[in-house]
Structure 1
């Protein structure tokens, strides 16, 4: 709902594709600044408490976003600050989320648990746009964002059901420990060529993906002229492919080498993206987005499982943070670049073409890297 409401509010108040795409990109900038801090927190503090506190803070910052958007004329400095603060929570708590899985799940079930998490997430990808688009249409974008506030409060409540941490490092985080842990995590991530190759692959992939994704609402509603409901139907159709990939990925991971799956799925997602150039029917776009998300979801589940199986538990939080920081660093750049192209009169045709070719090339490069040789 947030991903739908935010660009709709900005487009309606300003008509600017640049600000809509930039706002999307700004939400990923904190991954560059706070990922390492989140990794150290995950490896030294209670992951359960970190997740609960993070969601409560997200509820507070969501209210700040609402306040920044409620004026007749948007103060962009205030808006970008609010979005930045809300987005800062995710990199601080995501390493705890990823690294808590080996703590509560047996090793043989890593792939199954990652697939289940992605399946639930993808179910929301299908239902979210339909429900969110309806709510945005009925109560307008600003009021819809109150549901975002409520969702964080509910999430914090649910997280109390998690079992208490069994392997919490009792050391307090000092500046010395912080520096040592970050350096240790960086050295490990750089020397593990498979992990590093995967991060670089996702760097290019995320740049390409967000050239299009950050400008999706603009493309559908402004360039193609579809009503919001058609755009949300198309987005929901895209989620079906991701939903199907969840249970399938568990079987694929058991039968094929991780490197082969990662390189092939990345290449296939890039080639699938180019299919968007053939037809502009909103139903066709939804089907193609479903194909892209199918390969993308298999890609993510495979990499998460590979990382959890190969990285020592005591380093996992920092490695998750470092690899996510590197792979997410390209998202704001890709979002901004796509918005600049559109703002300068370049059609979405070229944005899609560049994005598809880049993603396919990332798959080819991954196949000949140490990642592609990973069993």
Structure 2
């Protein structure tokens, strides 16, 4: 919960701050998104490979502690007039998450009974959906009322408190038996395994294309709000919240009709991707907030 608060306060505060500092420069907004996702591309495989080699409890605690310390430094630079340092907040948070998230999954695997893992992951996913609704509103409220320095202060407090809470986790010593193989060899074997399975290979390509599409369109959300709909940039929070409501509703529907979803998965995925494509086109050409909001919800 604390990490979700931190993510959304960071996302909304940095978006608005960079836009104000650069005069709504779309290149600066796109750079902010690139700096958020590039570490995921570079470090995700490394973090996943190292998750079982390191002590997962220490990894998540150190990760949140480093995030808090780094934001302290960034806050000092921003206060001194170095507004460009705000970009570093996104980079640090994204890099740290690529090591702490896999370790969190290891903690689930070690300490949650196998028959309850599905329910535990479901609760976590529901939390993420709920914060997709309230997170943009909270982040916008803090920034618009208190400014960038207070927003960064909230980030420091949130990450520091998360690190303290994680001290109460059960001990999770590093697994040293059997001795781990070399890191690069593990990564190569993982790539070969995916490449050797047609279904996994196709899925990887699909996620690559969806990721590219998301990376292209996401930085433009705020400009659609401003230039197509004629609204203030802060109004983007309501469209983000509608997307969160839609995600939560879709998750509930999928859970209720899980049997139908499993039987028709091969049809549902292509239809969902087509719906996303059509919805994106409608959102871009729409001049009516109600229509745009309806598309974001769906």
Report the TM-score when normalising by structure 2. 0.83
Instruction: Trace 1:308-323 onto structure 2 (pairs within 5 A).
Output: none
Q: Map residues 52-71 of structure 1 onto 2, 5 A cutoff.
A: 52-71=61-80
User: 2 CA distance for matches of 1:108 and 1:253?
Assistant: 18
Deviation at 1:183, TM superposition (A): 2.4
User: Corresponding residue for 1:326?
Assistant: none
Shift of 1:93: 1.9
Say which SS state the counterpart of residue 44 (structure 1) adopts: coil
Alignment match, 2:4? none
| Contact 1:231-1:282 within 8 A present in 2 as well | no
What stretches of structure 1 of length at least 5 have no aligned partner? 292-375
* CA displacement at 1:228 relative to structure 2: 4.2
Mapped contact 1:119–1:247 kept (Cα < 8 A): no
Q: Greater CA deviation, 177-186 or 220-229?
A: 220-229
Residue 150 of structure 1 aligns with which residue?
157
| Equivalent in the alignment of 1:351 | none
Matched, 1:9 2:17: yes
1:70-124 Cα offsets, whole Å, 9 max, x none, are 454644xx55455323321111222223344333445555544333222111111
* Alpha-carbon distance, 1:178 to partner: 1.7
SS at match of 1:214: helix
Alignment length (residue pairs): 287
Q: Displacement, 1:8?
A: 1.0
Partner of 2:37: helix, strand, or coil? coil
Q: What is the root-mean-square deviation of aligned Cα atoms in Å?
A: 2.8
> Whole-Å Cα distance in 2 between the matches of residues 161 and 105 of structure 1?
15
Q: What is residue 170 of structure 1 aligned with on the other side? A: 176
1: distance between equivalents of 2:87 and 2:144? Answer: 24
Counterpart position of 1:279: 286
Residue aligned with 1:230, SS: helix
- The answer for the alignment partner of 1:236 in structure 2 is 241
The corresponding residue for 2:42 is 33
CA-CA distance at 1:189 after TM superposition: 2.5
Question: Could you tell me whether the CA contact under 8 Å between 1:62 and 1:149 is conserved in 2?
Answer: yes
**Bigger relative contact order, structure 1 or 2 (CA pairs below 8 A, ≥6 apart):** 1
- Residue deviations 1:279-322, cap 9 Å, x none? 3333432332121xxxxxxxxxxxxxxxxxxxxxxxxxxxxxxx
Distance 2:31 2:235 in 1: 24
Residues 179-258 of structure 1: pairs in structure 2 closer than 5 A = 179-221=184-226, 224-255=229-260, 256-257=262-263, 258=265
Change (3 A) 1:80 1:227: closer
